[in-house]
Amino acid sequence: MKKAFLALAAGFMVLAASTQSAFAGCGTCDKTIVENAVASKSFATLVAAVKAAGLVETLSGDGPFTVFAPTEEAFAKLPKGTVADLVKPENKDKLVAILTYHVVPGKVMSKDVVKLDGKKAKTVQGGQVGVKVKDGSVMINKAKVVKADIACKNGVIHVIDTVLLPKTK
Amino acid sequence: MMNFSLRSFSVVCWFAGCLAISSTSHAHSPVDFLEVIRVKPTQVILHGVETKSRYDSERQESSLEGPGYFSRGVGAMKREVKSPRAYMNWFAIKDAKPQPKREVEVLDMVRGAASKRLKIGNEVFLISPSQRLTSGAPDEVPEGLDIYKAYEVHGGAAVGLKLEIASSLGSGKATVGKPVYLCMPTQEWHHDETFPVTHLKDCFVVYEIEEQPVTSTFNTIDQFGINELKASSIRWICVRAAFLRDLGK
């Protein structure tokens, strides 16, 4: 009985070691989308918005999710005062709609994103984003993907240079 | 007369070698020649993967940095560009385990059957297929193009063969110098993906050529995502080859 337990324990240790090893050196793979966003200075506004929208728990869940994450520069392109307005409690629904418009269910790596050229992808918000590969760049609506394939424990982040705004109903 | 005979013999050997490569052992390679270009990426990738080539006893971690080089299919020796979509990104392997020097036999297109031996040492690069991003969905990676590890070659003699290179980004002329790397197919594990070796005996020998400055910027997509690469010079030429056997350490 003791031998069987030891063998089982050793088996688990080998499995754990091999799983860990497969992700070694990745840097982001063992963290969730939220943890990786928090760790990067490029997403301070995005993280604040996710917190204000109450989406931290969702985006820390199993997923997997594909997040098109706007940079600080992307938020800076919005009209002055937009972000400050959006994070107000009374605008929470609007903020949730905008943020979930940046999330696509499933883990869609860039090699699969580019196959969607000319097509649309359905977002968690319910609307669709258009994918276009043009002049060597990958565009999501009018946003350019500036960094792709930041692999996370529960999905992947693609960094974009413009905030995506869903059509208002 | 003697000179003529020797020359004739070497031509026959070279021709026989090319014929052997063409007809049997290398029917699957989607590319005969690749020019290797020094590049500077907009985003330097620092990433760990696991790899196993025929010279690794088990899966091992490889810390990668790059891409520092990019290669693209070209034509040479009266052969058209076999697959213009054959692109590879070259990543330096950091902290690689030292390898013993090994002697191997490899049949390649420029040295032919007359000279098959190479002495190889440490692994230097991991070479990963990539796709050029232009407009529209990119072309698929040609079948038969695997992931390779480039092992440094020790003491290879310069070939001296003059090549006219079709579809080169440079002048289209090159003289083949010393063999500098042998690229061997390598299995790779990256996150939850496994990249198998499809053809164990397909390999490439990388030769020095005169460095030629070029100016070009392009975007590629590989297993690490999208990257903009600024090309600065053509550095080497990669020649398809068939691995024959290990001769020992």
Kindly determine whether residue A25 and residue B134, on different chains, have CB atoms separated by under 8 Å.
Answer: no
Q: Which two tokens stand for residue B229?
A: 């690469």
pLDDT, residue A25, reads: 56
Average pLDDT in the A39-62 region?
Answer: 95
Helix-helix angle A92-100:A44-52, to 10 degrees:
130
Among A20, A107, A111, most B C-beta atoms within 10 A, so best to mutate, is: A111
Closest-CA distance, A90 to chain B, in angstroms, reads 38
Average pLDDT, chain B: 89
Helix (H, G, I), strand (E, B) or coil at B241: strand
pLDDT, residue B176, reads: 97
**Confidence band for B242, pLDDT divided at 50, 70 and 90:** very high
**A117-161, pLDDT tens digit by residue?**
999 999 999 999 999 999 999 999 999 999 999 999 999 999 999
Q: How many Å apart are CA B165 and CA B28, to the nearest integer? A: 22
Looking at the structure of chain B, the number of domains it has is 1
Q: Is residue B166 assigned to a domain?
A: yes
Q: Which two tokens stand for residue B101?
A: 């020097």
pLDDT, residue B28, reads: 73
Kindly determine whether residue A24 and residue B61, on different chains, have CB atoms separated by under 8 Å.
Answer: yes
Kindly determine whether residue B226 and residue A148, on different chains, have CB atoms separated by under 8 Å.
Answer: yes
Does the CB of A149 have a partner CB in chain B at under 8 Å? yes
Q: Is residue B122 assigned to a domain?
A: yes
Residue B167's alpha-carbon distances to A56, B170, B239, in angstroms, are: 52, 9, 15
**Confidence band for B6, pLDDT divided at 50, 70 and 90:** very low
The answer, yes or no, to whether residue B118 has pLDDT greater than 50, is: yes
**B13-70, pLDDT tens digit by residue?**
444 444 445 444 444 778 999 999 999 999 999 999 999 999 999 999 999 999 999 9
Query: Which residues in chain A have Cβ-Cβ distances shorter than 8 Å to B131?
Result: 111, 114
pLDDT, residue A5, reads: 45
**Closest CA relative to residue A37, chosen from A118, A150, A119:** A150
Q: Is residue B198 assigned to a domain?
A: yes
pLDDT, residue B93, reads: 97
Q: How many CB pairs under 8 A join A and B?
A: 71
Q: Name which of B46, B134, B226 is nearest A145 (Cβ-Cβ).
A: B226
Kindly determine whether residue A147 and residue B191, on different chains, have CB atoms separated by under 8 Å.
Answer: no
Query: Which residues in chain B have Cβ-Cβ distances shorter than 8 Å to A152?
Result: none
Q: Name which of A22, A134, A148 is nearest B189 (Cβ-Cβ).
A: A22
What pTM was computed for the model?
0.84
The answer, yes or no, to whether residue B170 has pLDDT greater than 60, is: yes
Does the CB of A138 have a partner CB in chain B at under 8 Å? yes
Q: Is residue B51 assigned to a domain?
A: yes
Task: Name residues whose C-beta falls within 8 Å of residue B121's C-beta, 6 or more positions apart in sequence.
Answer: B99, B100, B101, B102, B151, B152, B153, B154
The answer, yes or no, to whether residue B119 has pLDDT greater than 90, is: yes
pLDDT, residue B5, reads: 52
**Confidence band for A34, pLDDT divided at 50, 70 and 90:** very high
Q: Name which of B43, B48, B226 is nearest A24 (Cβ-Cβ).
A: B48
Q: Name which of A25, A118, A137 is nearest B48 (Cβ-Cβ).
A: A25
Q: Which two tokens stand for residue A60?
A: 């820390």
Amino acid identity of residue B89, one-letter, is: N
The percentage of residues in chain A with a pLDDT greater than 90, rounded to a whole number, is: 79
Q: Name which of A29, A135, A138 is nearest B191 (Cβ-Cβ).
A: A29
Check residues B241 and A22 and name the one with the higher pLDDT.
B241
Q: What is the extent of the structural domain holding B114?
A: 6-24+31-246
Query: Which residues in chain A have Cβ-Cβ distances shorter than 8 Å to B191?
Result: 22-23, 26, 29, 151
Task: Say if residues B109 and B96 touch (Cβ distance below 8 Å).
Answer: no
B151-173 burial, b for 16+ CB within 10 Å, e for fewer? bbbeebeebebebebbebbbebe
Helix (H, G, I), strand (E, B) or coil at B96: coil
Instruction: B59-62: list long-range contacts, CB under 8 Å, 24+ apart.
Output: B59/A21, B59/B189, B60/B97, B61/A21, B61/A24, B61/A25, B62/B93, B62/B96, B62/B123, B62/B126
State the pairing for strand pair A155-160/B202-222. Answer: unpaired
Q: Is residue B142 assigned to a domain?
A: yes
Q: Is residue B1 assigned to a domain?
A: no
Kindly determine whether residue B135 and residue A133, on different chains, have CB atoms separated by under 8 Å.
Answer: yes
Closest-CA distance, A13 to chain B, in angstroms, reads 17
The answer, yes or no, to whether residue B213 has pLDDT greater than 90, is: yes
Does the CA dihedral B76-B82-B87-B92 come out positive or negative?
negative
